[in-house]
A and B are shown apart, each in its own frame.
Chain A
Amino acid sequence: MSETLTLRVLRYDPDRDAEPYLQDYVVPYREEWVVLDALSYIKEELDPTLAYRGSCHMALCGSCGMMIDRQPKLACHTFLRDYVGRPLLIEPLDHFPIERDLIVDQDGFLEKLASLYPYLIAEHERTVSEGEYRQLPAQLAAFRPFAQCINCLLCYAACPQVAINPDFAGPAALALAHRYNKDSRDAGELARAEVTDSPHGVWDCTFVGACSEVCPKQVDPAAAIQQTKISASFRWLKARLLPGDKP
């Protein structure tokens, strides 16, 4: 077993660098270290100028998504021990503008998410005195997997459609729309259809399924999108068969 490991890290400071470049750092090899630990080591011991995000160290806050050995991964959930014997390439998430080093601009995702009405739209607003909605365990199970998204954006880095079509709403945002559509308390599907059924909604997806493969929380955005396509098709048909009806 080697005692050190080389991390080959993409560096880019738009104030100074014309182009991104790769910089090698030699870190101690430790069996229990995740990539985020190695980045902290670099920042503390080797190079305080390295910029990356990270906080919870337990795969929940979604801060530390990056390309590790060309795969989108959470740095706090990826162990050095799986990459011994060769330099480990660390780059910012694909398909996002780089702000600096490993930090990418995520505002675009938040705008897409906000456009999808990602909150509960009830048919009748319930007051607190009416108490909680009844929701059977099976009804909870219908949407719960899609509510597990931590917005880490690994799926955007994996998605070939996001790469060629920056307007595509994308896997996580569409999965969250689906999460509310499937919630027994919600009646907002038609509002969300403005975007889900639009040219940059589910129809941009070509069902490659890369999003679901890289998801660290087993959300399965690809399934969410396919299920939304079926609903969208019904809405399309209904609008044509019953022209008096509001689509």
Chain B
Amino acid sequence: MDVISTDIVIIGAGGAGLRAAIEVAEQAPGLEVALLSKVYPMRSHTVAAEGGAAGVIKSGDSFDLHFDDTISGSDWLADQDAVDAFVRAAPEELIRLEHWGCPWSREADGSVAVRAFGGMKTKRTWYAADKSGFHLLHTLFQTSLKYPRIRRFDEYYSTDLLVEDGRCTGVVAIELRSGRLVAFQAKAVILATGGAGRVYPFTTNGAIKTGDGMAMAYRAGVPLKDMEFVQYHPTGLPGTGILITEGSRGEGGLLRNRDGYRYLQDYGLGPPDPWPRNKAMELGPRDRLSQAFWHEQKKGRTVPTPFGDAVLLDLRHLGEQKIDERLPMVRELAKTYIGVDPVHEPIPVRPVVHYTMGGIDTDINAATPLPGLFAAGECACVSINGANRLGSNSLAETLVFGARAARSAIAAVAQSPAIDSRAVLAQAEAAEARVRALFLSQGEESAPVLRRALGEVMEQDVGIYREAESLARACDILVSLRERYTRVRLDDRSNVFNTDLVQVLELGAMLDVAQAMAESAQQRTESRGSHQRLDYPARDDAAFLVHSLATYAGPGGTRPAIGQKPVTITRSPPGERVYGGGGS
């Protein structure tokens, strides 16, 4: 097997991975970076973020206000030292992106424009119309082309981290066009592989978001943190799950039920002012809005559509000119995919799985407990998002923690002991043998059947509201699906661009990640942020103001061990989350 020796391997080339690669190239130009991605970088799912990126820039705003909004949004589960570092670094990262050419929307005087966003006390979300993630990703990718020290390995699917003497020493990946496996030996490894929304069938996430990096770290012994916290975005298109940005509410869009009534006023989010009030009504946090939908549906006040019940997102009063200027893609998406022109009709929307707050356990410096391994972006859990992420914090997070991971990795390279190349090769060959075994086995389990069963159980039993009985059922079903997966069938035996093989490996990752989600949800017998238990409706700070840590049971084990880790509280004692008239 070929071994490529380099200084830093970065896995994933979306927002966090590209930002990390550029930081290494700028801060340590002598180091060589291998940037691996299972897709061409421009295809990464950062591309689909629409609304914008939060960073304090305008007068009247402050780091303290951004901190307070984020902590309250997180239901006090975020680590306060990390949130402090995040809010302070976000504006400089966004300015840097502006210097690299990002086409941020502008005010009349040429300064960067900001818009209102859910759970934010003031306008602080930088945006590029409604394609903020697309522009952020392409700006980073194009800027990365400046640096020949960033060596890209596009369309390499990473399968296993290499660990030697308690230190991460690289990764094994499949070159998709040839099918050959390659070992990358490195002094530091950064995971930036994104989230795992695809474990649910109805999601805004692209097909590539299968939790591969989370699963790799988990199998290498790194805990997954706070996996029970899965964000439902309140406004996705029925059927496809296509995201309709929160920016549409930031610009003044209203949510109505079947009677035209702005139902959010019934869920502690009122008063229903006719103008947008920050942190109230349609500008409440995502967890509260998605939960309100669930109750409206129970009350029979939603609108039936061929693809499930919906509520109505009304943009008509914004007028055609403003919609075309600020939300052009929302208009195009609604027209194309459901035949609704928001200038003339409200858009039917429903909650849709959007973001994994949980992820690979990292500290404020993006370091995992495994020396030499770092993680950033959605795959990581620092945690700045806690039990509920505020919209527009995640794009800024990819930049802030992508850069931090790079700086930590640079420091780790300097301290790295010599790597035993023979041990790297031996481990890589063992990983290769596991992939080859799939080609030789005659498995009887169909991957699409297992994937559908996975989606079904997650949607039914690990959704917006959970309870003991359904979670226990989900955990049992996941044990059995993982057992059946050991007999999964690979139908495609070709070496060239074997997407069947990729999907089978992705399914293995999704099953592991889903199990961490369900088992963590089962042990958290309280309701906090996006994790709502019908049987434990109150927040319980005495028992659960802690992070959950799911630790892989090993190849022979059936369920992860669920442990806990303290939350860092520096200056904001747990309080009540107040939205609506009281919170703005």
Contact = CB atoms under 8 A, between A and B. Distances in A.
Interface string B154-174: 100000000000000000000
Interface string A89-123: 00000000001110101110010011000111010
Most buried by B among A43, A58, A105, A186: A58
A207 interface: no
Interface residues of A, number: 63
A13 to B, nearest CB: 5
Contact of A49 (B47, B135, B242, B491): B491
A55 B134 contact: no
Interface string B332-347: 0100110000000000
9 contacts: A32-B337, A52-B499, A118-B142, A119-B145, A132-B104, A133-B98, A136-B108, A183-B101, A185-B101
Most buried by A among B109, B110, B111: B110
A27 interface: no
Nearest to A118: B142
Interface of A: 13-16, 32, 43-45, 48-63, 77, 99-101, 103, 105-107, 110, 113-114, 118-120, 122, 125-126, 128, 131-137, 139-140, 143-144, 147-151, 176, 180, 183, 185-186
Contacts of B47: 56, 60-61, 150
Contacts of A133: 98-99
B429 interface: no
Contacts of A119: 100-101, 142-143, 145-146
Interface in B226-281: 239-240, 242-243
Interface in B486-524: 491-492, 494-500, 503
A140 B99 contact: no
Contact of B111 (A55, A107, A126, A134): A134
Given A57-B240, A119-B142, 4 more contacts: A48-B491, A49-B494, A118-B145, A120-B101
B445 interface: no
Contact of B145 (A15, A105, A114, A147): A114
Contacts of B481: none
Contacts of A131: 95
A16 B494 contact: yes
Contacts of A59: 336
A186 B40 CA distance: 26
B229 to A, nearest CB: 24
Contact of A61 (B206, B337, B448, B496): B206
Given A52-B499, A106-B40, A132-B112, A61 B494 contact: no
Contacts of B95: 128, 131-132
A140 B105 CA distance: 8
Interface string B25-60: 000000000000001101111011000000000000
Given A48-B492, A113-B145, A150-B134, A61 B99 contact: no
A126 B99 contact: yes
A101 B105 CA distance: 40
B443 to A, nearest CB: 12
B515 to A, nearest CB: 23
Interface string B72-114: 0000000000000000000010011011110111111111100
A57 B499 contact: no
Contacts of A44: 448
Given A56-B47, A134-B110, A63 B39 contact: yes
A183 B107 CA distance: 17
A49 B500 contact: yes
Nearest to B144: A119
A167 B314 CA distance: 50
Contact of B39 (A13, A55, A150): A55
Given A60-B131, A60-B134, A15 B207 contact: no
Contacts of B105: 140
B241 to A, nearest CB: 8
Interface string B200-218: 0000001110000000000
Contacts of A149: 138
B333 A58 contact: yes
Q: Can you list the 5 inter-chain pairs with the closest CB atoms, starting with the nearest?
A: A134-B110, A120-B101, A55-B206, A48-B491, A44-B448
Nearest to B492: A49
A174 to B, nearest CB: 14
A149 B141 CA distance: 13
Contacts of B503: 43, 48
Contact of B496 (A14, A57, A185): A14
A103 B497 contact: yes
A118 B243 CA distance: 29
Nearest to B447: A48
A129 B78 CA distance: 29
Most buried by A among B103, B146, B239: B103
Contact of A100 (B96, B447, B496): B496
B239 A143 contact: no
A109 to B, nearest CB: 9
A180 B145 CA distance: 14
Nearest to A109: B40
Contacts of A32: 239-240, 337
A186 B98 contact: no
B177 interface: yes
